[in-house]
Amino acid sequence: MPPKYQQLADRLRKAIEDGRWAPGDQIPTEIELRDSSGFSVNTVREAIRQLVNQELLEKRQGEGTFVRRRPDTFPVLLSDEEGRRAADLPGDAYVSSVLLRGRRPEVGRPHVDVVEARADVALRLDVKVGAKVVTRVQQRFVDGTPWSLQTSYYPMDIADGTDLIRPGDIERGTIRLLEDLGHPQVGYTDELTARMSYPDESAFFAVTGAGVSVQVLWRTAFDAERPIRLTVTVYPADRNRLVYHIGSVPAKYRDRS
């Protein structure tokens, strides 16, 4: 038998999952929950604390406790680079995909730097640890809301002397630029993991409290021979859903959201 606060937390969570309490709803007060559940106020408090930690509830100062409103999650299609290129859409994949869904994309001015490759970057770019690499950091927004944080890494022998090492946007997109530089992208490997947001990320994503769960996507792009770019993107889970279509998915099921 789980502890009492756990039993209550599970019961409240179920009310949210079943939709009996909808996003944005104010939930009953601690006293009301004590009376309706038969548990003590301390038990009620502990159960609510757990659901706040799980990002299901949020406390608003002086107002009460509410079912956390999930922003309209944006489906990020990660499997269609090939298709998109075939369709010959211009420039940045992110901008195109947001526009295609009738939303307003916005990207911050890229911050360009030269840094020494950490072990995890060096492994993926197949360069020595400590080798110089070019980084481009960019903030991305949907409809004015911060949506993702992206850092791209380029091997110095590819980036040096090109637009990649210069500040400013690359109008034609980096995939096309790399192609022009003799490094056509033929495929990529995506590696995904999850963690809580770091404070600088929480600040950018305007998250308060303990942070928000993020998915971190490590995308290594290859030409026929070698890695040509590593892109690390941090997606807050409360406003993104990462999507892959593999094989042949019937057309009517490809664009659900």
* Chain positions contacting its own copies, by CB under 8 A: 2, 6, 9-10, 13, 17-19, 50, 53-55, 73, 75, 78-79, 81-82, 118-119, 123-124, 126, 185-196, 198-200, 210-211, 213-215, 220, 222, 224-227, 237, 240-250, 253-254, 256
Q: Rounded to the nearest whole angstrom, what is the least distance from the CB of residue 191 to its own copies in the complex? A: 5
Spatial contact of 178 and 229, defined as CB atoms under 8 Å apart: yes
When the beta carbons of 105 and 236 are compared against its own copies, the nearer one is 236
The per-residue b/e assignment along 73-103, b for 16 or more CB within 10 angstroms, e otherwise, is: ebebbbebbeeebeeebeebbbbbbbeeeee
Question: Which amino acid would we find at residue 44?
Answer: V
* Cα separation, 35 vs 33, whole angstroms: 5
Long-range CB contacts for residues 131-137, cutoff 8 Å, separation at least 24: 131/155, 131/156, 132/156, 133/159, 134/159, 134/160, 134/164, 134/165, 136/110, 136/111, 136/112, 136/164, 137/110, 137/111, 137/112, 137/113
Nearer to its own copies, 36 or 54 (CB): 54
Shorter beta-carbon distance to its own copies: residue 103 or 245 = 245
Nearer to its own copies, 106 or 238 (CB): 238
- Least Å distance, CB 244 to its own copies, is 4
CB of 28 vs its own copies, minimal distance in Å? 21
| Nearer to its own copies (CB atom), residue 110 or residue 227 | 227
Q: Residue holding tokens 């409240």?
A: 12
Helix (H) or strand (E) holding 107: strand 105-107
Query: What DSSP string runs through 151-182?
Result: EEEEEHHHHTTSGGGSSS--TT-HHHHHHHTT
Q: How far is the CB of 78 from its own copies (least distance, A)?
A: 7
Nearest-approach distance from CB 119 to its own copies, in angstroms: 7
Whether 51 contacts 57, CB under 8 Å = yes
CB of 45 to its own copies, least distance (A): 16
Q: Which is nearer to its own copies, 29 or 73 (CB)?
A: 73
Smaller CB separation from its own copies, 166 or 226 = 226
**CB 48 to its own copies: min, Å:** 14
